[in-house]
Amino acid sequence: MLMKKIIVFVIALIMLAGTVYGSGHKITSDLWIRAVINTSEKGPIEAVWQRGGKGTTAGGDRIIWGYFYASPDDVSWGSPQNPDVFVKIWFDRNGRVDVNYFHVSVPDIDVYSDYPYDGSPDQRVTATMYKRYVRHYYENGQSHTDHRYEDGNSPSEYSPTGEPYWHSTKTGILISAIIDTAEKGHIDPVWHQGGEGTTAGGHNIVWGYYYASPDDVSWGNENNPDLFVKIWSDASGRTDINFFHVSVPNIEVYSLLPFVDNNTKSGMTVMDNRYVRYEYPMTCSVEEQNEFVYNVMTGTYLWYDKVPKVDYANYASPEELLEDIRYKELDKWSYVTSAEEHYAYMEEGRYVGAGFGFGYDDSGNLRVRYVYRSSPADAAGLKRSDKILEIKGKTVEEIEINNLWNIVFGENKLGATVRLKIEDSEGFIRELNMKKVWVAINSVSHYDILERDGLKIGYLVFNKFLETAREELDKVFVVFNQERIDKLILDLRYNGGGRGDIAQHLASLIAGVHAEGKVFSKSVHNDNFTIWNDTDYFAHAENALDLNSIVFITTGSSCSASELVMNSLKPFIEVVSVGDTTCGKPVGMYGWDFCGMHIAPIEVR
C-alpha cells in the first residue's frame, strides 16, 4: 500500500511539473522563465513571452531582454504592444545569472524561473503594483530571490543635475534620461522605441528603453537596456510615465507635457529605488483643450509670430479656435482631428468612409479618381472616371455654391450613408447607396511592366505615403528588381503626401547606390526651436533599383511628400516631370495628442 501511495505521489508530481513546464519559455537550454497574470476577468492566465533582443558587452557579459504580455484572446487590454512585465536577464562572465522582472501592469503577476533547467521551478514570486521589482539570481549552484516595494517616487536624497535632451512620443509627452557614469560622467543615452498601440478601450501605450551608447562606455549596447519606459495615456486624458531602472549607475529621468505651464518633472532612478512614475492628469474641459491648442500654435507652429492674441476661453471648440488663428495666407493644412482617426489613417492605413476619391476634370466635371479594393464603393460598382451628378440629392453645382461638402457626405462614423447619382462610362445613370465602414487604403493602387523598344519600363500608381505603404512598396520593388526594369514611371497624380520617412524609403528604393548616404532633406523649424533642425539621408534599401532617371506624372493634387521625393532625387539622377504643376507644399507637421484629439500644425519646412 505504501509503495502504491508513493507511485501515485510521484505521478502527481510529474503531472504538476508537466502542467508548469507545458507553459513558460526556455530562454536558453539551461534557463526557463514564466509569468502568470491574475486577472479580474478570467482569473490566472498564461502570459505570452516576446523576446526583444540579445547582446554581449565588450567585457563578455551576455544579455537577453524581452517582456510578457496578456493575450488579447484572454482580456480586452491584452496586446503585444502593451507589456505587463519587462524582463532583463544578465549572464555574468563569471557564471552568475540575474533574472530581473519589472511589473508594468495593474493585476498581480506570478513570475517563475528555473536554472539550470531540471523540471522543477527554483523560484516563484508574485509581483504587484507595490512590489514592482523582483529578482531571481543564481550563483555558485544556489538560487536566490529578492524584491523591492516601491511607490513610484524619486528618492529625495538625489537631485538631477543635467540638461535633458528630449525625445517625443506618440502620446505627446516628451521624455529624457541622463546616465551618471563612473567613466564619463553624465551621458545622454540612446532612446529606442519598442512599440506603440491602442487597447480595445481606447487607451494608448508607448514603450521602449534607453541604453548607453557603446561610443560612450564599454558596457553600452543596443541590446543592453538601462532604463525601461512605459507610457500609458488613458481614454480620459490622464497620462502615466513609468521608468524602470535596469542598470548599475544612477539615471536621471525627466518628462514634459508641452504647452502646459509648470509641468516638467524630474527625478532619479537608482539600484535601491528602481521605479519612478510621473502622472499628468487632465480634466479635458473645452477651455483646457483650447489652451493646449493655443500654446501649440504660439509655440512650435512655423508661423507662431503670425498668430493673433485671442482669449481661447471664448471658443466653442479647439477646431473653431484653430480655424480662427492659423496663418491663412500660407497655411491651408493645419488641422485638428480625433487621435483614433489620425493613427488609424497614418499608421494602420485605414479610415471610416465609402472607399473612393474624386476631383474635377479639365471640363469642370466631378469624377471618381480612384476606388479602394473591397470597399463599399467597390462593392457598389463605382469605377474610376464615373461622373458624379448628385450627392445626397444635391447637384454638384448646388453643393459648390452653398459649400455643402461637409453636409452631403454625412457624419464621419460607421454606418453613415453616402448617396450618389453617377453617370458611368457608357452613359448609364445610376443611384448608389453606400454605408461607411473601416476602409483599408491601397497605397499602391496599380503597377505594371511595359516593354517598349527592347526596354522594360515599370509603371507604378502610388497614392498615399502611409506606414502601411512601406510593405506595399517593398513587394512591388521586389518584382521590379526580379524583372530588371530599365526605366520607371511613378504616377503621383492623386498623392497628397503623408509620412516623410516613407518618402525617404521610396526615394532610396529608386536611386539606390547613386544617392545612398547622401542628403535626402533638411528640416528647419521656427527660431525658438532651431535645436530641432535636422538632416536626413538616403538609406540603404534592399531591392533598390539604382536607376539613372525617373519619370513622374503629377497634377495639382501631388503634394508634400510627393514633392519631397521628386526634389530629393534631382541632385543625383535625372528627374522628368509630366503633367500639371504640383500643389506646392514645402512644409510639414509632427502633431500632438491631447484629450483623445490630435492637432497637426505646420511645424517644419
Average pLDDT over residues 359-371: 92
Average pLDDT over residues 56-62: 87
DSSP calls for 122-148: SEEEEE-SS--EEEEEEETTEEEEEEE
DSSP calls for 187-221: E-PEEEEEEEEE-TTS-EEEEEEEE--TTT-TT--
Tell me the C-alpha distance between 546 and 280, whole Å: 49
Structural contact between residues 85 and 65, judged by C-beta atoms closer than 8 angstroms: no
Burial class (CB in 10 A: 0-12, 13-18, 19+), 116: middle
Q: Is the pLDDT of residue 446 over 50?
A: yes
Burial class (CB in 10 A: 0-12, 13-18, 19+), 265: middle
Domain boundaries, the chain: 2-52+62-142, 167-280, 286-334+590-600, 351-440, 444-579
Structural contact between residues 605 and 587, judged by C-beta atoms closer than 8 angstroms: yes
Amino acid at 256: L
- DSSP class of residue 515? T
**Cα 566 to the center of its chain, rounded Å:** 26
Q: Which of 54, 50, 115 is nearest to 84 (CA)?
A: 50
Average pLDDT over residues 582-599: 88
Structural contact between residues 246 and 87, judged by C-beta atoms closer than 8 angstroms: no
> What pLDDT sits at residue 583?
93
Q: Residue 508 — very low, low, confident or very high, per pLDDT cuts 50/70/90?
A: very high
Tell me the C-alpha distance between 477 and 470, whole Å: 11
Q: Is the pLDDT of residue 100 over 70?
A: yes
> What pLDDT sits at residue 541?
93
> What pLDDT sits at residue 22?
54
Q: Which of 603, 447, 459 is nearest to 524 (CA)?
A: 603
Correct CATH for 351-440 of 3.30.1370.60, 2.60.40.1930, 2.30.42.10, 3.20.20.105: 2.30.42.10
At residue 288, φ and ψ (nearest 5 deg) are -65, -40
CATH architecture for the domain at 444-579: Alpha-Beta Complex (3.90)
Tell me the C-alpha distance between 390 and 398, whole Å: 9
DSSP calls for 447-477: EEEEEETTEEEEEEEE--B-TTHHHHHHHHH
Half-sphere exposure of 488 (CA within 13 A, CB side): 30
SS3 label, residue 165:
coil
Distances (CA, A) of 13 to 6, 32, 112, 544: 10, 18, 17, 58
Burial class (CB in 10 A: 0-12, 13-18, 19+), 451: exposed
Average pLDDT over residues 408-419: 90
Which residue matches cell numbers 474635377?
360
Half-sphere exposure of 324 (CA within 13 A, CB side): 16
> What pLDDT sits at residue 262?
61
Measure the CA angle with vertex 431, ends 430 and 434; round to 5°. 130
- Residue 476 is placed in which grid cell? 512591388
SS3 label, residue 267:
strand
Strand-pair partners of 49: 68
Between 1 and 472, where is the model more confident? 472
**Cα 426 to the center of its chain, rounded Å:** 45
- pLDDT digits 0-9 by tens, 9-44: 333 333 333 344 458 899 999 999 999 999 988 999
At residue 63, φ and ψ (nearest 5 deg) are -130, 140
Q: Which of 208, 202, 133, 199 is nearest to 173 (CA)?
A: 208
Tell me the C-alpha distance between 249 and 189, whole Å: 12
Taking residue 532's Cβ as centre, other Cβ atoms within 10 Å add up to 16
- pLDDT digits 0-9 by tens, 194-236: 988 877 777 789 999 999 999 999 889 999 999 999 999 877 6
SS3 label, residue 420:
strand
> What pLDDT sits at residue 282?
67
- Residue 509 is placed in which grid cell? 528604393
Structural contact between residues 206 and 231, judged by C-beta atoms closer than 8 angstroms: yes
Average pLDDT over residues 554-563: 94
Tell me the C-alpha distance between 76 and 71, whole Å: 9
Distances (CA, A) of 221 to 189, 210, 218: 10, 10, 8
Structural contact between residues 97 and 90, judged by C-beta atoms closer than 8 angstroms: yes
- pLDDT digits 0-9 by tens, 301-341: 999 999 999 999 999 999 999 999 999 999 999 999 988 88
Distances (CA, A) of 186 to 6, 183, 210, 217: 62, 9, 14, 11
Between 194 and 156, where is the model more confident? 194
Half-sphere exposure of 243 (CA within 13 A, CB side): 33
Please report, rounded to a whole number, the percentage of residues in the chain having pLDDT higher than 70. 95
Tell me the C-alpha distance between 564 and 538, whole Å: 12
Taking residue 349's Cβ as centre, other Cβ atoms within 10 Å add up to 20
- DSSP class of residue 604? B
> What pLDDT sits at residue 285?
87
Between 434 and 411, where is the model more confident? 434
- Return the CA Rg of the chain: 28
- Residue 72 is placed in which grid cell? 488579447
- pLDDT digits 0-9 by tens, 272-310: 899 999 988 766 889 989 998 998 999 899 999 999 999
Tell me the C-alpha distance between 340 and 360, whole Å: 30
Q: Residue 155 — very low, low, confident or very high, per pLDDT cuts 50/70/90?
A: confident
Average pLDDT over residues 159-170: 80
SS3 label, residue 589:
coil
Which residue matches cell numbers 490566472?
44
Structural contact between residues 95 and 31, judged by C-beta atoms closer than 8 angstroms: no
- N residues, the chain: 605
Average pLDDT over residues 517-533: 91
Q: Is the pLDDT of residue 81 over 60?
A: yes
Q: Is the pLDDT of residue 468 over 50?
A: yes
Amino acid at 386: D
